[in-house]
Chains A and B, each alone.
Chain A
């Protein structure tokens, strides 16, 4: 079926009054770019710029041609808003048909395309329902179908899987990916979920405080973040190089990092690096009796930001230095000071493994 028109989208020096600062980004035709960033980093604002529904400075180009002078209604952007914005007064079929109707497409063409999209989204049975009678996942599908109906140059998806239960979320994520590949429509997928970004994107762009910090393939961004903030965002902290690894059964490997052996879960067979999110490391004064793996004796080197709600602590374990984050009240109750010894536990499940 006729999907989107293959379009290369370029953003040049995009700024706006409130948040965006000098954003430069190119999305190749047919590509799915994941825009990753914390809440309030300007992700939605950037989508609004591309859609032309807010003021901005800089240039937006579709296939090399500037669309800055075009109003939203002439840009041909399929936008799935975060809260979907389905028309409550129209049934599912009319919601999907809306764009084609206002663009005065012939009725027979509209009907044909609506039927195709209902089928593609597997919502044929919902054709005559109103949005208020749909579940979250169903609404999501209608919103996608409505955005695709106008054969957009680019599809903008603003945290499309928010507010869905985890199962539907995973299912729809895979489906969106498949559909995007099938239709080859250039897509920006906004999320703050790292796993989602890793699974779905051809390319990942990290936006923090209105600035684009890093753009690359998921592999590049997730294995070598450019700075601490990006690393924090994607949970890539405490990266340790592994000199050897040994299979110990049950999907577990024992790896050696500068003389410290750490047990990790891994599906592949080669492990060159591991990363442990600082939030997933626990500190104890006495040796914990409950867990037996990945517990080490360490020495506290430094306590950072002791007065904020999250205390960051540098701990030396063997030859490695780990960053640990603890809630302030928990840290205070431990009564640990610089130079003292403590037990460190690395949670097996939260250790990320890189081949």
Chain B
């Protein structure tokens, strides 16, 4: 059994797929639900992949997420460090961030559509906003929660304030920062899909909407699965990085 440990999670999914196939093949679904069999969806998936349609849309969404997320979290981490280390910066920025943080990222869409128009900058800005606030917030929290005794200990051992920051404060805040990053990476995918569905004619979200108007349920399902895979792999990447960088914290 140990040998199959890493594939054990696949079994429930396989059961679900088989059930799906059987139910649809034998027309066991009551009412007017259109659900194509799994094999049809799989066929469409190959078709879309070979034609480059899927990859084209996926790539656009991916680039938007990556650019927006990386820029947003990079700035978020920098601002978070400033807030965590300087009381003055914290008092200055905390009220602003606390006020803007609860606004759902997609809520910025109407305003941004008017300000920057419909183009590549729009989804990237949305993702930037969606990443920046939470990452700044969790970074500041992580830094503030570092035990002051450890900072004092580092000082008595000869560390300058900058060295204390890089060798003690940041490494110890890292697990908290990573938790923020991991959650926001998943959130970025949710937000990009919503933005593309509403306002942008390209990307996975836009593909959703096109499929909906053509009543192509198989394409919608392909998009959903791709979305799940992307969110999941982003989270996995961060979990992996976290386990490598924060081994001391016992991160599994």
Residues on A lying within 8 angstroms of B by beta carbon are 51-53, 71-79, 81, 83, 85, 87-91, 98-99, 101-103, 130, 132, 146, 150
Contacts and interface: CB of A to CB of B under 8 A. Distances in A.
A81 B168 CA distance: 17
Contacts of B197: none
17 contacts: A51-B152, A72-B152, A72-B156, A73-B155, A73-B157, A74-B158, A78-B156, A83-B149, A87-B153, A89-B172, A98-B167, A99-B157, A101-B167, A102-B157, A102-B158, A102-B163, A103-B158
Interface of B: 147, 149-150, 152-160, 163, 167-168, 171-172, 246, 248-250
Contacts of B157: 73, 98-99, 102, 146, 150
Contact of A85 (B150, B159, B171): B150
Given A73-B159, A74-B158, A103-B158, A85 B248 contact: no
B158 A99 contact: yes
A81 B154 contact: no
A72 B149 contact: no
B155 A72 contact: yes
Given A81-B149, A83-B149, A88 B172 contact: yes
Contacts of A71: 155
A87 B168 CA distance: 8
Contacts of B163: 102
Contact of A53 (B155, B168, B246, B248): B155
Contacts of B250: 132
B155 A85 contact: no
Nearest to A103: B158
Given A73-B160, A99-B158, A132-B248, 17 more contacts: A71-B155, A72-B155, A75-B156, A78-B156, A87-B168, A88-B172, A88-B248, A88-B249, A89-B246, A89-B248, A89-B249, A98-B167, A101-B167, A102-B158, A102-B167, A132-B250, A150-B157
Given A73-B160, A102-B163, A102-B167, A87 B150 contact: yes
B149 to A, nearest CB: 4
Given A73-B158, A132-B250, A89 B171 contact: yes
A354 B155 CA distance: 45
Given A99-B158, A146-B157, A150-B158, A53 B152 contact: yes
Contacts of B152: 51, 53, 72, 79, 81, 85
A254 to B, nearest CB: 53
Nearest to A88: B248
A82 B171 CA distance: 23
Contacts of B153: 79, 81, 85, 87
